[in-house]
Structure 1
Amino acid sequence: MIHNLKNVLSILCFLFLLVVSAQSEEGEETTSLKQFQNTNTPQERFNFFFNAIDRYNVNSAYDWLDTIKIYLSNAQKTNDTLASKLYRVMQTQVYNDLGEYDKSTTLAKELYASKDSLDSTSRRIVLNVLDDNYANLQLFDKQIEIRKEKRELGLTENVAFYDIYSNLGLHRKARNQYIMEVKPTIADNDSYGLAKYHSKVGNYLRLDNSAPTALSELKKAKAYLDVFINDISIQKTEEQLFQSDLLKAEIEGNIGKCHVLLNEYEEAIPLLENSIEVLKTSPNNNYRGEVIENTLYLADANLQLERFFKAKKNLDIDFDNMGTLQNIKRNSLLAAYYDRVENFKNAATYYKRNERIKDSLNEKQSSIIKQQLVTIVANEDLENSQRLIDEQKKINELARNEMKAKDERINLVFISLIFTLLGFAGLVYAYLKSIKNQRLIADQKYIIENALVEKDSLLKEIHHRVKNNLQMVSSLLSLQTKNTRSKAAIVALEEGKSRVKAMALIHQKLYQNDDLSVIEMQGYIESLINSVQSVYKKGGHNISITIDAEGTELDIDRAIPFGLILNELVSNSFKYAFPENDENGKIYIHLRKNGDQGYFEYTDNGVGLPEDTEERTHSSMGIRLMNRLVNQLQSKLNIDKESEGVRFWFNFN
């Protein structure tokens, strides 16, 4: 009996080992590396390697590198030059995926030295690897040379600079060039293309410290991507679905980083955690930097919420090839962590590390980045100077046509009140558009070597003439007022004249300043209020007005909408806020701008807004004009009804 039992147990153990062995073999067969080894020819292995979307899911890049080295050694022993080149191209890509950019660059340069013996696919791969290597090594002048080579081979149509500008810290310039070059190429029904576009724009805004605006762009990108993923009418490949998941994870990670910048840590943490998990599945190193950045932001969020164990766990992750700026941020977070847990010795150690890194960075990077910028701008000048000159001619012609159109609209003032108002609205729109065009021209002239010689004198003359023309418009409106008996028409003309004076005052301040790019707002507001008081001669003189804008400067693109908004608010207070007595009337104006973030507040202690304010919002030209102007400042006008008076406020960039 015992003997039979032993036999049964032996048979069961044998069957168990067979099952385990079979499962092990089956598991090996399902890995990408095993499938790679089972292919028959070097060309088939080459195709499989570059088409595998999950090649590092089971086996690491080091496993792949060891396997490829064995095949390369065998090919070299048999003098199979074609196979040797194919394996060396794969080896170049693996070194890039591992972040060993120097080794990858050396191999790629050796391969491309004999580019005539490479097929078109291998050339494209080698050039793309060199492009990515030079970007990570911050050799941007070399990166430009590679992109020119790709264009000559027909692999790309244009030499794009926006990612290089971003790597150099010029995120606003990168965003502007990206919008100009990429937006026209995307069809309105291309949901995936629009998702990538808005994701890129949102990320540039985030890097440029404009987190609220970036958040809006990134949410728009996520909405477009959801449309693409849920559209059952589009047949999607496995590769497209995989790339969509990576893009969604990238967008969610950037949204999480925006929440951290806005101190919304609870909202940020799940987005960052999910993004990190998905981006880790990428088969190459394209998202390694994103994973590191997301992890650092996740640590920051946990640290702010005093979840010290989780924060330290995030910071203790050992990343390969962490960038200098990422290293500085990690050291800062570790120092903050040790400060919070009162381990001041370790905190001081990390503070000192950062100081050493920053000193070294300041010594080395400053001259290198200057050289890179000179090279990039010189290349861009040679490539695009003629195109910029042609565009500038078109813009100048457009500006002349707009000035002529303005004169025609001014003449329409004498026809009727309706056409006067319509013409004035068109004039404001065209004028703001003209200012934007002037700013674009100024940016483009910056690239051309000698285009700025006479800029100051020409701009002063332009602002002086514009101010004179606007004063002439104001005078014409005054003449029309004297010849008009309708009280409503007189009021409308006086309002128009006040708005024209607000714009004229901007130009007066500009040509009187040494710096033509900004306006000192304290003096401008005082002058504007004096101008408005002169219009309302019978009222407003007993009102106490407090202006808190000392030291605040705005450029012309923000100053003109701001001046028109303030003109509307002060005029409304003088007209409606104090109908019986203005002796105790008070107006408070507050304007501040720190960096790229600004805040405006206007309050009075008058009778407040009427009950039907919401209905008047759609019919009142003044409120509609203010809403449109605030929209141009990329913000929203907020109105609070106080117990006494009213409060208007908005944030702006």
Structure 2
Amino acid sequence: MYQAVPQEPASKKGQAEKLEALAQMHQIQGNYTEALHYGLAALKNAQEIGDTAKLSRYFLQLGYLYHDLKQPDKALESCAESLRHVVEVNKDNDSFNILSLAVNVLLAQHRVKEALQYISKFVRATPPTSLKSIAMLTLFKAQCYAALQQYPLAKKHILLAEAYLREIDGAKDLIFHNDSYRMGVYQVAGELYMATKDYPKARSYFKKMVQVNQKVKYLSEEVLHEQLLSKLDSAQANFKGALVHHQRYSFLKDSIFNEARSRQITNFQIQYETQAKVQRIAMLTKKNEIQQALLAQNEFQQTVFIVGSILLSALLLLVYRGFKVKKKHNKILEGKQDEINRKNESLNQLLADKEILLSNKDELLEEKGWLLKEVHHRVKNNLQIVTSLLNSQAAYLNDIKALTAIEDTRHRVHAMSLIHQKLYQSDRIATIAIDDYLRELVEHLSDSYNSDGNISFQLEILPMEMNVAMAVPLGLLVNEAVTNSIKYAFPDGKAGIVSLSLREVLPCSYLLTIADTGIGIKNTSDFSSRRSLGMSLMKGLSKQLCGDLTLDNTNGLTINVLFTPSLINPTYGIEK
């Protein structure tokens, strides 16, 4: 079955890496005795030198060996150890390689439901983020559903796995050893179509599977391939071909798992486990000796300290008595002199601090500006992470309403993210150019929803600088209104116009208008009373702006918001 190839990190080539490379080479060639010998030696070397960063990789390599040697318990133990030592920077890649091995071991034991539970628990703890991990997860699910004879669901996942394979092939800059993944896709697809008695398709996929292995030359995979081809020929009543493949399967299997090699492999395992126990005992003995030595040293130091303290106390008492009379006469003069010195030092310190503050005033102001820009940059990055999480969640949803809700939320997050992007890219740190912001926001919504280009936009926005606390609710309100017009005002691809204007109607009072030439609504009072999230947001955002929201259903729907920024904060500040 499909096995992900562990990635080689770019690090210094040490003894453990050389041993691991030899283990991989012998495993590919089917020399499992030598492979296990070198794999255990690599693990031992890494443990002796304290190279914990690579222990995950070495345990994973041993897990693959135990899986090939039909020792599932040891393979699962190696998976657990590998997962415990996964390095944080390679968590996604290494973790899903471990998941690959664990699923294959459980499926080989016909523990399909346990495999699905393992996958669900694993994904909750480590959500997939890369194309590689998403593709692997899809293939694992296809395997499990096929094993449970849920063939429609399995077929859906295997088709998706093939789509990911094409995407991987097209990504030239993607660092991903996809031969094993490709072989896994073809194998699962072939087994699925053989189970559903679509034998021509099954043979086509098995042929592709064999062609890939002719390039990578994995002997353990060749054994499995011969077994699958024998079953397929037998199902099609091609008993001669089935016999040829079965003989080839038996020959390869016997060449790998003969009795002499099994005994030698068992001896290697016993030697390694015995040596590991001896090393642990030696380490505990040495640790106990060190603790005893430290305890004796501490007791000696305590004795020396006590004796020294007694002698020092006696000496100090003699010195104190000798100077007691002299200190008594000088005490008053010294106290006054100390007070004068302290006052002089305090005054000098205040003068020095004043000079430093005056000289660093401009530097502190500039640093404050950069810090505010960094804050806005990080807020924008965090909002982009939220958008990415929403996109990842959408990939696992089939419900249209849920997908629509996630899409709307993503655009709301984008509206806020765009404000912080404008702030850290601008020379100003407290205000943004509202006209540029609203134009870019409308352009984003048009690109997202207006795929046919049947809707045109007319913008008339007063150039002004607006504070963040005002720009956020204003941007979210525009996002909701424009999104509503694009989605519902022009059904069946009908052409139309959405206009957006922001102008000053009275001193310090502004009117925001979003209008469309669409079909409108039957009754604006009904629309205003509806308990939809979009309408509730627009009402709430209008209150944040201290404005009044009104609807007009003449020649389409028009939304007007009249607001006065000075009611929010007398020092709000809008610069034209």
Common fold by TM > 0.5: no
Class of the TM-score when normalised by the shorter of the 2 chains: 0.3 to 0.5
Considering Cα pairs closer than 8 Å and 6+ residues apart, tell me whether 1 or 2 has the greater RCO.
Answer: 2
Larger radius of gyration: 2
TM-score, structure 2 as length reference? 0.35
The TM-score, its normalising length taken from structure 1, stands at: 0.32
